[in-house]
Structure 1
Amino acid sequence: MTIIKQLGNMAELIEARAAERGSEPFMLDAPSGAALSFQQLKEETDKLRKNLEASGLQPGDKVSVYMPNGPLPAILLLAIMASGLQVNPINLLSQPSQLVYVLSHSDTRLVFTCKEYLPSLAQALRQVEREVAVVVCEPDSMQVPVVPVAPAVAGVSASPAAPRVPSGVLSGQQIQADEPALIMYTSGTTGVPKGVLLSHANLLANASSTSEAHQLGAQDRVMVSLPLYHINALVVALITPLFHGGSLVMSPRFSARTFWADVCQFRCTWINVVPTIIAYLLNDEAGTQGHDLSQLKFCRSASAALAPEHHRAFEARFGLGIIETMGLTETAAPAFSNPLEASARRVGSVGRPTGTLAAIMGADGQFLAAGERGEIVLQGPNVMLGYYKDPVRTQESFTPDGWLRTGDVGYQDADGFFYVTGRSKELIIKGGENIAPREIDEAVLKHPKVLEAAAVGVPHPEYGQEIAVYLVMRDGAEFDAADMRRHCLAELGNYKCPSRFVLMNELPRGPSGKLQRLRLLEPAA
């Protein structure tokens, strides 16, 4: 690990892995079984760097990737950063107005996309007041496409040929560790998306801490079924294996039907999922029938709080331990992790800080003692540079002495394990008493017919707010209001018992699987 930790940027990381691991497989494509070696990754990175340089791009220019999962998007994301450019993975779930905003605000000069998403991209680019070049390619390819000096696509205004720059300008050797490598936009459910700026040092710091926390090495392989346009998959399942010399299996998307088969066929040693996937796997009747999971070391859960009932049910059914973690886009993914040792983990906790400092802060800015609830704040080498072109919101996100304000409410116990009870904006205030929505969620999820649950506060003339719960029932289960109320009274008592239940086909979630609770209060819900 000593040599690895001295690496300063993505180009140096790719170079080092190619020298050490050579022809060993780095990435396998689940649908085809094709493999990309560490040496081939370096060769494709070098090809793209030279091509981008010849097309006229300058160090620090922004390049976007608007594609679903596949070998090529993974190569492009790494290679663009290794070329001294800033990569912008675009969320495929973006609404048209959000897509226009991201393309405009990011100052992107070039977008890699595929035929499937070209129509929506072309429509958005017509509303962008700056010409943007477009290259259409296939996600399942393992070779970077040629980038013309002025790439043009029918119906899309391509950028004019930029002045050519001297050979060698896009060189990995010139990239400083604190230079921006990534602009990733948040989902923007409470306003316009924010462009989180992360440096090479931020990304490598978390790849290092994740590798160390889970004791990962060259023998380890992870299944990638989460979208690469989210920070979890990008850092934890793509950059981290590259960091410790392991490998990954690239799946186009999550499918409960094929998940365990792919995990076993490619002999993955760990899986990286979100609570929604855990719920779907629990709801799948076939489960692991006919599949041997003995090669798996652990299941890593991230991006949202995992209900203890689902945690215990998953471990009991599949015989696979869950390591619950938590992170933010602003911290390049992981900031907390439970221990690798099963007996040391705490169900319901996001774990201890990993590679960062964490504390609980009160409304007056003072640190709180163990057991006291307040806002979780963070400091460390993984914390973002700031929000792109947004100094006001950047300043608002940090305390005067440099702690990142996460907006998550929680507490830590006497042993340093942290617990998240909700978001500060999501607290239910009933009759002047603060009620954590997660407490309600977890109680409702104990009912055997409930697959997912989300509590929110809704207006009440006397109490200010009352508790409503949005439910997704298990397959074939019928909702019985009287039975559900009896269950909640027994678990929560009368004061915290929900007064309203709403049935849903699915709960609103972001690309990471994180519950977007406040969207339940929108009229469309």
Structure 2
Amino acid sequence: DGSTFKPSYLNVPGTKPLSALTIGQLMDIAVEKWKDREAIVSIYQGHRFTYSQVLDMADRLAASLMQMGMKHGDRLGIFGPNSSDWYISRLAAARGGFIAVQLDPAYQAPQLEFSINKVEIKVLISTEFYKSNNCYSLIQTVVPELKNCSQVGAELTCSKVPSLKRIIMMSDKPYRGTYRLNDVINSAHPELVKKIRDEQCLIQPDDGCAIQFSSGTTGTPKGALLSHHNLVNNGYEYGKGILLMNYKDSKIALSTQFCHTSASLGGIIASLWFGSTSVLPCPVFDGLKVLEGIIKEGCTHMLATPSLCVDMISKAKENGLKVTTLKCAAYGGAPCPQKLIMDFKETLNIEHLIPIYGMTEICFAFVARPEDSLQQRTTTVGHPIDHCEVKIVDKDGQMVPIGQPGELWIRGYNVMLEYWDDKEKTSQFISPDRWGKTGDQFVLLEDGTAKIVGRVKDMIIRIADNIFPAEMEEFFIQHPDILECQVFGVPDPKVGEEICAVLRLRDGVKLTEHDIKEYCKDKLPDYRIPRYICFIKDFPRSAIGKIQRSKVLEDVKKELGIK
């Protein structure tokens, strides 16, 4: 009956018009308002930089990159964990009109090589180390020519990655064939610095500004291209959503990586809008260091995922730490149990819990509103952001009634421009009328909030990473002794979901869990290595020989004692 059918559709028009600023212009405005306020504090590096210092360093780096041959639209790769160097490199790309390629610091050589080639990175700025990765050695695998370079800093000819011309290390130590970041910043020509400042108006809001790779394990990650318009407006909504404007001198503790949507939007763009200070307690998440950083700096805000919540609760209790300054904690990246989030609120004395939802291709799309109840905040992802349409559809793309599950589609300024150089995958994600198909299963409720109920394509959400079983399965099948493979996400209270690989080996072959993990070691980022490895003689199959995934998952959970 058409008169009673309430479609799962919402359009939030917004009260503030969209902005036509670029990130570079937003930086100029931030410096006018807050030039002496600290923009970034990297506790572990001992760095504290004000807004005016950040702008000065970003412009000098942009000018030196221009001197090295970078032009508008060229790709600048940034490879490393959170640091003040990463922050300044990202802003330098925006000021120079370059596209920042935000590479995951956990990449091994195959993913790094693929990414450089896919988007044709011209200059790579890299850290020295990330966890157990020696990043220079890793780069040498991709650029073997570095071994033959006699001097520090030179234009390179790279057979495996032909687009790559120069490598800059975030280090004071000289590395063969590379430049040191501080030398590059300090050697900027004053005339070129002036040119960078004078030409901000030539960069257009719809120009590409960042490429973020979605997950990939077999050399097939997709590079989502985002514009200044996407990020500037989405950063404003993010800052507004996490209530930055309510607190003077807000400080955001960042514990997720800048290469992901949440930290780059919340820690960089939102801060420029509201004059907040981004605080980096440590390069790799460590619950104790994050807590100590929050206490030391008096942080008012933090961004969290379920696994971070679990770790911080236990570290706060073990060490008797009392947090008194946290006003708001935004959390997302994986389904978060209600009990866990309530425990988090209580342990860290958090005034406001703010659920958020987003993904690489649509940036940030849902957030709680100030008037939402605690029940809404702990069971939903909040409401759609301003200037955004959402609908929930069935498998044929038809809207379902309110309260019925279906796939979430989103339309608005926050949807990416495209997957870089991949028309086919872009058209699979963006419909002809610009709806972005998230692949996430949602329910839209009567009160305008929404719940995630599952993944349309069995996607595994581990911490803030989206992992697709099919790509993992393709990777395992490359092993000569593995005949068939099925990969699942199994519930885990700390990281949302853990990866479980179920393997059928060739007849007569014996492999152990240890053998499989060793095989993964240098080929996959550490968070992609399955926590659980199970072996199976044969898979249960349907009448037409199709593997019955639900039956396999049921048996695996029983075997592992997981509910």
TM-score by length of 1: 0.77
Is 1:111 the counterpart of 2:144 in the alignment? Answer: no
* Structure 1 residue identity aligned to 2:277: S
Task: Mark the CA change 1:341 to 1:467 in structure 2 (over 3 Å): closer, same or farther.
Answer: farther
Secondary structure of the 2:361 match is helix
For the pair 1:134 / 2:162, whether they are aligned, the reply is no
Shift of 1:111: 0.7
Aligned partner of 1:349: which letter?
T
- Structure 2 equivalent of residue 225 of structure 1: 255
Three-state SS of the structure 1 residue aligned to 2:182 is coil
1:464 to 548, 553, 557: 548
Q: Is residue 455–residue 468 contact of structure 1 (8 Å, CA) maintained in 2?
A: no
Q: Distance in 2 between matches of 1:52 and 1:4?
A: 34
Paired residues, number: 446
Aligned mates of 2:356, 2:95 — CA distance in 1: 28
Aligned match of 1:168: 195
Deviation of residue 283 (structure 1)? 3.6
Matched, 1:363 2:395: yes
Q: Is the 8 A contact 2:441 2:454 kept in 1?
A: yes
The question of 1:500 aligning with 2:513 is answered no
SS of residue matched to 2:85: helix
Q: CA deviation at 1:145?
A: 2.9
Alignment of 1:79 with 2:96, yes or no, is no
Give the C-alpha shift of residue 426 in structure 1: 1.2
CA distance in 1: counterparts of 2:495 and 2:122, whole angstroms: 44
Query: What one-letter code is carried by the residue in structure 2 that aligns with 1:197?
Result: L
2:76 equivalent to 1:63 = yes
Contact 2:540–2:551 (CA<8 Å) still a contact in 1?
Answer: no
| Per-residue deviation, 1:165 | 9.9
Q: What is the CA–CA distance in structure 2 between the aligned matches of 1:287 and 1:90, rounded to whole Å?
A: 35
1:177 paired residue number = 205
- Higher RCO (CA < 8 A, seq sep 6+): 2
**Deviation for aligned residue 1:29:** 1.7
Cα 1:4/1:75, change in 2 over 3 Å: farther
Match of 2:530 in 1: none
Is residue 225–residue 250 contact of structure 1 (8 Å, CA) maintained in 2? yes
Q: How do 1:292-331 residues align onto structure 2 when only pairs under 5 Å count?
A: 293-320=323-350, 321-331=352-362
Q: Distance in 2 between matches of 1:259 and 1:230?
A: 18
Q: How far did residue 33 of structure 1 move?
A: 4.6
How far off is 1:233 after superposition? 1.0
Opposite residue 185 of structure 1, the aligned amino acid is F
Tell me the SS of whatever aligns to 1:365: coil
TM-superposed CA distance for 1:22, in Å, is 1.2
Summarize the Cα distance change of 1:503–1:392 in structure 2 as closer, same or farther, 3 Å threshold: same
On the 8 A contact 2:169/2:181 being kept in 1, the answer is no
1:2 Cα shift? 11
- CA offset digits 1:12-66 (Å, max 9, x no partner): 0111111111111111121255320111111112212221222222111111111
Whether contact under 8 Å (2:21, 2:229) holds in the other structure is: yes
The CA deviation string for residues 239-298 of structure 1, in whole angstroms up to 9 with x for no partner, is 21122111111232221122211101101101101111112223436356242x232112
Distance in 1, matches of 2:116 and 2:366, equals: 32
Question: 1:192 maps to which residue?
Answer: 220
Report the equivalent of 1:373.
Answer: 405
Whole-angstrom distance in 2 between the partners of 1:118 and 1:348: 44
* Structure 1 pair 327–288 and aligned structure 2 pair: CA distance change class (3 A): farther
Q: In the alignment, does 2:313 pair up with 1:282?
A: yes
Does the CA contact (< 8 Å) of 1:72 and 1:138 recur in 2?
Answer: no
1:206 corresponds to which letter in structure 2?
N
Counterpart of 2:298?
Answer: 267
Cα distance in 1 between the residues matched to 2:200 and 2:15: 21
Letter in 2 for 1:411: V
How many Å separate the matches in 2 of 1:86 and 1:358? 28
Kindly provide the amino acid, as one letter, of the partner of residue 263 in structure 1: I
For residues 342 and 254 of structure 1, do their structure 2 counterparts lie closer, same or farther at Cα, with a shift above 3 Å needed?
Answer: farther
Q: Which residue in 1 is equivalent to 2:470?
A: none
* Contact map agreement 2:75 2:101 (CA 8 A) in 1: yes
Pick which of 354-363 and 184-193 moved more. Answer: 184-193
Report deviation, 1:399.
2.2
Question: Relative to 1, partners in 2 of residues 1:501 and 1:453: Cα closer, same or farther, differing over 3 Å?
Answer: farther
Provide the aligned C-alpha RMSD in A. Answer: 3.4
Aligned partner of 1:124 among 142, 149, 162: 142
1:338 corresponds to which of 368, 372, 386 = 368
Q: CA deviation at 1:368?
A: 1.3
Q: Residue 54 of structure 2: which of 34, 41, 62 is its match?
A: 41
For 2:285, the aligned partner's letter is F
SS of 2:168's equivalent? Answer: strand
Residues of 2 paired with 1:49 and 1:91: CA distance?
22
Q: Distance in 1 between matches of 2:284 and 2:454?
A: 28
1:465-484 residue pairs with structure 2 within 5 A? 465-466=549-550
Could you tell me which residue of structure 1 aligns to residue 450 of structure 2? Answer: 418
Deviations 1:431-458 (A, max 9, x none): xxxxxx99x94xx86xxxx986659898
Structure 1 range deviating more: 456-465 or 36-45: 456-465
1:169 deviates by 7.2
**Identical pairs, percent:** 22
Q: Match of 2:560, as an amino acid?
A: V
User: What is the match of residue 419 of structure 2?
Assistant: 387
CA distance in 2, matches of 1:85, 1:325: 29
Structure 1 residue matching 2:44: 3-state secondary structure: coil
Q: State whether residues 214 and 340 of structure 1, in contact with CA within 8 Å, keep that contact through their aligned partners in structure 2.
A: no
Q: Is the 8 A contact 1:223 1:250 kept in 2?
A: yes
Query: Which of 34, 38, 42 pairs up with 1:21?
Result: 34
| Contact 1:56/1:165 (<8 A) preserved | no
Return the alpha-carbon distance in structure 2 between the equivalents of residues 325 and 302 of structure 1: 5
Distance in 1 between the 2:496 and 2:261 partners?
24
- Partners of 1:221 and 1:136 lie apart in 2 by 28
| 2:97 alignment partner, SS class | coil
Cα 1:261–1:6 shift into 2, 3 Å: same
Distance, in Å, in 2 between the alignment partners of 1:233 and 1:402 is 26
Return the offset for 1:357. 1.8
Whether contact under 8 Å (1:65, 1:87) holds in the other structure is yes
Distance 1:409 1:338 in 2: 19
Q: SS at the partner of 1:347?
A: helix
Q: CA deviation at 1:206?
A: 0.9
User: Partners in 1 of 2:396 and 2:321 — Cα distance?
Assistant: 56
Of 236, 258, 263, which residue of structure 1 is paired with 2:289?
258
Question: C-alpha deviations, 1:170-203, integer Å up to 9, x for none?
Answer: 8322100000000111121486000110000100
**Is 2:230 aligned against 1:202?**
yes
Can you list the C-alpha shifts for 1:400-445, whole angstroms capped at 9, x where unaligned? Answer: 32210000012111111111111111189xxxxxxxx99x94xx86
SS in 2 for 1:369: coil
- Output the amino acid matched with 2:200: G
